[in-house]
Amino acid sequence: MYHNPVLLKESIDGLDIKENGVYVDVTFGGGGHSKEILKRLGADGKLFAFDQDEDAQANTLGDPRFTLIVENFRYIAQFLKFYGIRKVDGILADFGVSSHQFDQAERGFSTRFDADLDMRMSKRNTLSAYEVVNKYTYDDLRKVLFDYGDIRNANAMAKVLIASREVEEIRTTDALKQALKQFLPEHRQHKILAQIYQAIRIEVNQEIEVIKEFLKQVPDLLNPKGRLSVISYHSLEDRLVKRYIRAGQFEGEPEKDFYGNIEVPLKKVGGLIVPSREEIKLNNRARSAKLRIAERNDEK
């Protein structure tokens, strides 16, 4: 199976679908969420989906109401405009990597397999894990490991990587594990490796910058009462979503107008939603999922 959709009902309920509305699924993957949106749309409704991974194209849906755009969602407004769409009624995002991407050994996303250092979600991406590991400066490597992997001894790890690649280039995930073996005690190996892989993957795909660029376009794209439904899988993603919904920005305090009222482009709908114990039992990938829903704020 390409991907088992997470928080399917809750995330699509959050879009409050109007029969003839226009919707966007920015992370199409195996199409689980898209299919559910189509089920709830009428004959005149429309769904546009994005996925930067060329593999997702194989899952495209033969439905006249559906269009798949094989591009990065950081360009959402630009590509929708190309299709003549300036406003939509709801946007769904289900961030991160699909099970398919994890399971394809040669993509290099999974700690389970040996593979070339790649981790690109799109083959058109020029930066790969190989460049990050072999070409980044000490400072940049340290920052990636610390900021994106929450690795406490990032300094020491970066130093060891630099020393190791001076002896021989690090070309594969096994070579990476070998170079870092002093940091991987048996009992914590799995967790630390997952943190290292996450850090490199976020850097390779510029995930933080991309999510910021995307979120900043959302308010202008939404019609009045338009909805945003976002599923995140780690705290870096969720923090960006939470802050943007609360304050309309990623750092600092929200702007106040002349009268001291806070002007925010979105307002939250309900609280944080997490998967039920049953869902996590059936789908382990759901365990870290967090869903937030917001609506365009027209009470400014």
The residue ranges that bind ligand SAM (CB under 6 A) are 3, 5, 27, 29-33, 50-53, 56, 72-74, 94, 96, 98, 121, 210
How many other C-beta atoms are found inside a 10 Å radius of the C-beta of residue 87? 13
Minimal distance, residue 109 CB to ligand SAM, in Å: 10
Name the residue nearer to ligand SAM (CB basis): 3 or 296: 3
Euclidean distance between CA atoms 42 and 64, whole angstroms: 12
217, burial (CB in 10 Å: exposed 0-12, middle 13-18, buried 19+): middle
Amino acid making up residue 261:
N
How many other C-beta atoms are found inside a 10 Å radius of the C-beta of residue 187? 7
Q: Are the C-beta atoms of 82 and 203 separated by less than 8 Å?
A: no
Q: Is 109 annotated as a binding residue?
A: no
Q: Is 32 annotated as a binding residue?
A: yes
Minimal distance, residue 256 CB to ligand SAM, in Å: 32
Amino acid making up residue 52:
Q
Q: Is 31 annotated as a binding residue?
A: yes
Minimal distance, residue 53 CB to ligand SAM, in Å: 4
Name the residue nearer to ligand SAM (CB basis): 161 or 273: 273
* 79 CA to centre of own chain: 19
Q: Is 258 annotated as a binding residue?
A: no
Minimal distance, residue 103 CB to ligand SAM, in Å: 12
Q: Is 108 helix (H, G, I), strand (E, B) or coil?
A: coil
Name the residue nearer to ligand SAM (CB basis): 94 or 238: 94
Selection from 294, 281, 279 nearest residue 5 by Cα: 279
Name the residue nearer to ligand SAM (CB basis): 121 or 144: 121
Q: Is 51 annotated as a binding residue?
A: yes
Q: Is 94 annotated as a binding residue?
A: yes
Euclidean distance between CA atoms 27 and 171, whole angstroms: 29
Distances (CA, A) of 291 to 8, 206, 235: 10, 22, 12
Name the residue nearer to ligand SAM (CB basis): 171 or 216: 216
- What are the residues facing 23 on neighbouring strands? 47, 90
Q: Are the C-beta atoms of 106 and 247 separated by less than 8 Å?
A: no
Q: Is 95 annotated as a binding residue?
A: no
Name the residue nearer to ligand SAM (CB basis): 100 or 296: 100
Minimal distance, residue 50 CB to ligand SAM, in Å: 5
Residues in binding site for S-adenosyl-L-methionine: 31-33, 51, 73, 94, 101
Residues in binding site: 31-33, 51, 73, 94, 101
